Structure 1
């Protein structure tokens, strides 16, 4: 990858156009063909690519715009899930934040490609930028479902990790060099971290790609979902074999800095969240630059990547684009100072 000092990227999702939601609903009603739905997805992704290119982002994604949600996209394509469950709280912070619950009724298994590689190929064909793919982690998929089959949660998460490993191998063999695994649930269950790290490391072992692990506090409708703290995950989190750790820094006054100061980074690159996705105001480049400079007391510039705190799916398009532009301009200010 053509990385540079303070490489800019995104966490994954981008502002979801209202018209795309309307077209999805028309497709469910049989008023839009599969081909017409696919054309709509193609156009949405092309628009997302253009925004990231115009903003100047270095490593881009397809905005996850083809995905119903970060969970349903996977559970609808993995055998063992039924997607007709009741409403269930997403996190453990606010029980009123709910979504319909997938149900695990049988041993989960992969029945064919989930589609990550095909979607990444479309992205790569339509940009000259470096790219990455994002994949929802096995614990997130497990915790967002009602388990009516497995007596051992570790077995369930291991089976899901095996499915995702095959999907990762497929997209890497297609040419993708950077894979990000998203596990916002880890913050909510720190007592499970030792064996979760073990499964994560097994899932990516021997695969020839760069891996990033993104951990946040949840971000459905731009709201925090989990009670836990990053401090609950250290130092065990540093045992993951990911090359990068992607964490929120903007919304929490750079909370992870004290943890990296205390425990080090194990020579990992740190993807620093410098855009607060929960704040409706668009940061100025100067605000972003100050957030960036603050981390250099603990993390050397050559080990720092930059991103928003989390995904941008639930914010208006003009706000999302404005925040990306501010991030890139802030990075430019700091580079010139360095």
Structure 2
């Protein structure tokens, strides 16, 4: 038995794609030209991941404007002054604000998956945004004629469809990105916001069978954008007991960048369930230094002291470029880190006699 290892999602976009996006926005490139540039970037990304030995790949989110905003493409009932996400280095990201209902996704993850599978010779996983993140686009003062309850009902339906169509389209697994989980404890230390996020996400997850949920995972991290995080200072021990209440079969946990991973692992061991596989982060995308396979091996062996190996997997802490304009990490470094993760995980499996 090998230890499964998977990427989280995003890979830095090549300059050719970034230039094509700029040209398209300026009216100098038509839709077909942009689509061709995206497809080329997806093909190159998947080929590079496979060359690095990755047994499961993603499309690197090459065609997404960001990991969170892809469902909002083409929606006109949005204003630019929504919730603000502050990062430790002082920069911010601002979500749009919904101005009218009903709410529907403008793009679905299954479309990205179908395009990626044309280029892959190994299984493809699909990242989707958790409904809790999209719930933040609804304004605190409400929308006339479209109460929050109606919005949540529409959001739950759309999020279920985003996951289900991806599973039906052949995704090896579907990963909900839940980076707002740890951030919620910074915004509301009482835990009330986090509890509401967990309840909302479970409304969606509970629509799937137990067998389907073995292919559905949740990723959490303290955010990663332009070499900075938004909630690394929040104690993981405050998040994890709530995180494992999510009715998912897989959990992808940032760990390599954590200052005290052994303490975190002990909390994971205490609160994760026997039917939940835990993928521990063994690569820090923000650190410009490429980890050695031996470092990765040692991180896996440390995790194996707390988590049964038949429930253990490895991953990167976060995506390498969750927002399309983040070029703080090069593609070459990202693929080198992926190769180190794959090789180091294999070394750990050998050490464990698997």
Question: Is the TM value for this pair above 0.5?
Answer: yes
CA separation of 1:178/1:69 partners in 2, compared to 1, >3 Å: closer, same or farther?
same
SS of 1:131's partner is coil
Q: CA deviation at 1:136?
A: 1.1
Name the residue aligned to 2:220. 215
Q: CA deviation at 1:273?
A: 0.3
Name the residue aligned to 2:295. 287
Name the residue aligned to 1:318. 332
Of 185-194 and 156-165, deviating more is 156-165
Give the number of equivalent residue pairs. Answer: 331
Contact 2:97 2:139 in 1 (8 A): yes
Aligned-partner Cα distance in 1 for 2:89–2:257: 22
Q: CA deviation at 1:146?
A: 5.2
Could you tell me which of 245, 265, 269 is aligned with 1:257? 265
CA separation of 1:139/1:30 partners in 2, compared to 1, >3 Å: closer, same or farther?
same
Aligned-partner Cα distance in 2 for 1:152–1:215: 29
Q: CA deviation at 1:50?
A: 0.7
Aligned-partner Cα distance in 1 for 2:314–2:115: 25
Name the residue aligned to 1:118. 111
Could you tell me which of 177, 182, 197 is aligned with 2:177? 182
Q: CA deviation at 1:292?
A: 0.5
Name the residue aligned to 2:131. 138
Contact 2:255 2:280 in 1 (8 A): yes
Name the residue aligned to 1:206. 208
CA separation of 1:281/1:206 partners in 2, compared to 1, >3 Å: closer, same or farther?
same
SS of 2:301's partner is helix
SS of 1:220's partner is coil
Q: CA deviation at 1:219?
A: 0.7
Aligned-partner Cα distance in 2 for 1:111–1:290: 42
Q: CA deviation at 1:165?
A: 1.1
Could you tell me which of 321, 328, 332 is aligned with 2:346? 332
TM-score, length-normalised on structure 1?
Answer: 0.90
5+ residue gaps, structure 1, are none
Instruction: Show the 5 A alignment for 1:1-338.
Output: 5-78=2-75, 80-82=77-79, 84-85=80-81, 89-91=84-86, 94=88, 96-110=90-104, 114-143=107-136, 149-150=142-143, 156-189=151-184, 190-204=191-205, 205-206=207-208, 208=212, 210-226=215-231, 227-252=233-258, 253-254=260-261, 255-313=263-321, 314=326, 315-337=329-351, 338=353
Of 236-245 and 30-39, deviating more is 236-245
**Offset from partner CA, 1:180-218 (integer Å, 9 cap, x none):** 000111112232233322221221222535110011101
**Offset from partner CA, 1:52-97 (integer Å, 9 cap, x none):** 1001111111000101112232222456434x338x6423x54832
CA separation of 1:97/1:38 partners in 2, compared to 1, >3 Å: closer, same or farther?
same
Q: CA deviation at 1:261?
A: 3.2
Aligned-partner Cα distance in 2 for 1:29–1:182: 31
Name the residue aligned to 2:188. none
